[in-house]
Structure 1
Amino acid sequence: MLLSVNRHNFREEVLESSQLVFVNFWVNWSEECKQMKMLMKKLDSELEQGCKIVEVDWEKDHKLAEKYRVFGTPSLLVFSDGELVGQYSGTLNVNEFFEETNAWLSTNSKQEMMEN
């Protein structure tokens, strides 16, 4: 099950996370959002540790959406060490998404190894 975040816990769960964080903005009436949510659940079960996926109900948290310029759904934001490093709008191509995710994870792992 994906963790729901909002403006009250966004800082703790996303910005202060040491993991790569995928933030899925969605609405419950959209077929594209339902497909994206299914994809996010699948990714959550298949991705390595070192990243997490959370979701934001776009209709319930407009202020958070506006802050990150999310004006439509589905939208996916990618954060690394509290910084926005990627943003997608619309339905994702699964293969391309996995390739980019693995590249981000590799980059994060290399940086962690260099810091230790």
Structure 2
Amino acid sequence: MATTRQFSSFNDLISHTSQPLLIDFYADWCGPCRMMVPILDQVKQHLKTAVEIVKIDSERYPQLASQYRIQSLPTLLLFYHGQEVQRWEGVQPPEVLIDAIRRL
């Protein structure tokens, strides 16, 4: 399950977590984005506290989507120690995400 929380800035969000942070840029109208919901739930169930998953609505935060060059939805960004370490566009199988996070 993705985390719902407020943050003062995106930099604050990515820099204040000790575990890998998986950001899901999505939009409500996006069919493939809805397909990612159960996949991200699987990732979280499998990795538990080893990852934090945060969903960001690209339409509510267009400046952030532009800053991180989000050109298609869903786009998943994996951050570790405040740095983007991997990016995926489109629906991804849970094994791909789990393996990448485990490598960190």
Residues in 1 aligned to 2:4 and 2:92: alpha-carbon distance in whole angstroms: 20
Larger radius of gyration: 1
Alignment of 1:19-38 (within 5 A): 19-38=19-38
What is the aligned-residue RMSD (CA, Å)? 1.9
Alignment of 1:71-82 (within 5 A): 71-82=71-82
Secondary structure at the residue paired with 2:49?
Answer: coil
Deviating 4+ runs (over 3 angstroms): 4-9
Identity %: 23
Question: Please, which runs of 5 or more residues in structure 1 have no aligned partner?
Answer: 105-116
Give me the TM-score of the superposition, normalised by structure 1. Answer: 0.78
Give me the TM-score of the superposition, normalised by structure 2. Answer: 0.86
Structure 1 residue 45 displacement after superposition: 2.1
Task: Give aligned pairs, total.
Answer: 104
| Most deviating of 56-65 and 41-50 | 41-50
Alignment of 1:1-116 (within 5 A): 1-4=1-4, 8-104=8-104
Post-superposition Cα deviations, 1:73-109, rounded to whole Å, max 9, x if no partner, equal 10000000001111000010222222222112xxxxx
Question: Please, which runs of 5 or more residues in structure 2 have no aligned partner?
Answer: none
Residues in 1 aligned to 2:51 and 2:22: alpha-carbon distance in whole angstroms: 8
Residues in 2 aligned to 1:95 and 1:78: alpha-carbon distance in whole angstroms: 14
